[in-house]
Amino acid sequence: FSPEFDQTVSVQPDGYVTLRGAKQLVAEGATVPELEAAIGRAYTGVLRDPEVTIALQDFDKPYFIVGGEVNHPAKYELRSDISVTEAVAIAGGLTPRAKHSQIVLFRHVSDDLVESHLLDVKEIMKSRTLAEDIRLKPGDFLFVPQNLISKIKQYLPTSSMSMYASPTQF
């Protein structure tokens, strides 16, 4: 009924929404009906019998991040219940330089505390039992480090390596 108050707003990182002609409201953690009621109360001094309708356009989807020595490091949507080995496969698999035996899973326990799990994916795949394969939760970060050979390889002269790699030269 009052198109000048029609607006599209986003929930800010601090959890608040800024409304035209009213004060800021806390939107974080509120359901759509709770937020409609709160906005209606915020406009009671400005509008008579305000009617509020909220149409949720987008929301922050659950995600996980895979970084380090995988073929496609990125942020991925967590659309279903997946494990660490499945997440590595989604990220394109491990590169030849990856250290399969020391993949690190970082998980937020609270805003200030992060726990880490050291996983031996090579052993998990070798044993063919996925009992030790941890299920991911929203916000998890997997890091695949480089193996030792690829770390020191950049410091070795490649011309001298051919002598050892190809004994037919002698």
Contact in structure between 18 and 7 (CB atoms under 8 Å): no
pLDDT in tens, 3-56: 888 888 888 878 899 988 888 899 888 899 999 999 989 888 888 888 888 888
- The rounded distance, in Å, linking the Cα atoms of 115 and 108 is 6
pLDDT reported for residue 106: 95
Query: What is the C-alpha to C-alpha distance for residues 15 and 136, in angstroms, rounded to an integer?
Result: 25
Question: For position 2, what pLDDT does the model report?
Answer: 76
- What CA–CA distance (Å, rounded) separates 93 from 70? 6
pLDDT at 154: 62
Of 59-68, 102-111, 146-155, least confident by mean pLDDT is 146-155
- Give the mean pLDDT of the chain: 85
Query: SS3 of 76, please?
Result: strand
Where b means 16+ CB within 10 Å and e means fewer, 117-143 reads eebebeebeeeeeeeebbebeeebbbb
In degrees rounded to 5, what are phi and psi of residue 74? -175, 180
Q: Say if CB 54 and CB 32 are below 8 A apart.
A: yes
